[in-house]
Amino acid sequence: MIITSTVTRDNGLLDRIRLVARRYTAKVSVGYFGNEQHRPSITSGSPNPITMNSLAAIHELGLGVPKRAFIEPALQQNRNKHIKYAGRQITPIIRRRQSLNNAWQGLGVMAVADVQKYMVTATFTPLAPAIIRRKGSSKPLIDTGQMRQSITYRVK
């Protein structure tokens, strides 16, 4: 006669997986969220500061200037990288080696870095000769570096 027995140990793993699955949804937004004022450079020719939101919208949507979108294209270009990152965070969260909040914060930092890199490396519509003379540079989106440095993220 063969006798078998099964010992079931509940270490809470299944409950943690369920909890993480329910709470793993969040929204990481990248952009300009405050009312930070853009301080024009001496060469910009504009004495009136505008918000970073407005300046980014001007470039992103092409409002009165050639369209030089940099947020949406950078995020689309790096979408698979961001998805893979989020997927790699699930196991450490379940095993309590990483917090859910830290995972989303990490994704935000990564996305901001990707947008900043895109601003410097992408090919945009060239600047007009008069703008190049005034700026002293032919690089679109980069004048003082303030707009690039001000991009941020938030997690909801």
* 78-98: average pLDDT: 91
Tell me the percentage of the chain whose pLDDT exceeds 70: 85
How much is the CA Rg of the chain, to the nearest whole Å?
23
Q: Does the pLDDT of residue 96 top 90, yes or no? A: no
Q: How many residues does the chain have?
A: 156
Give this prediction's pTM: 0.80
Distance CA 4, CA 22 (A): 37
Smallest CA-to-CA distance from 155 within 87, 86, 103 is with 103
The answer to whether the CB of 75 falls within 8 A of the CB of 111 is yes
Q: What is the pLDDT of residue 43?
A: 44
Q: Is residue 31 classed as helix, strand or coil in its secondary structure?
A: strand
pLDDT at position 53 is 86
The DSSP line for 29-61 is EEE--S-PEE---TTS---S-EEHHHHHHHHHH
Q: In the prediction, which pLDDT does 30 show? A: 95
- Phi and psi based region of residue 128 (left: phi greater than 0; alpha: psi -120 to 50; beta: remaining): beta
pLDDT at res. 141:
87
pLDDT at 77: 97
pLDDT at 155: 92
The DSSP H or E segment spanning 155 is strand 152-155
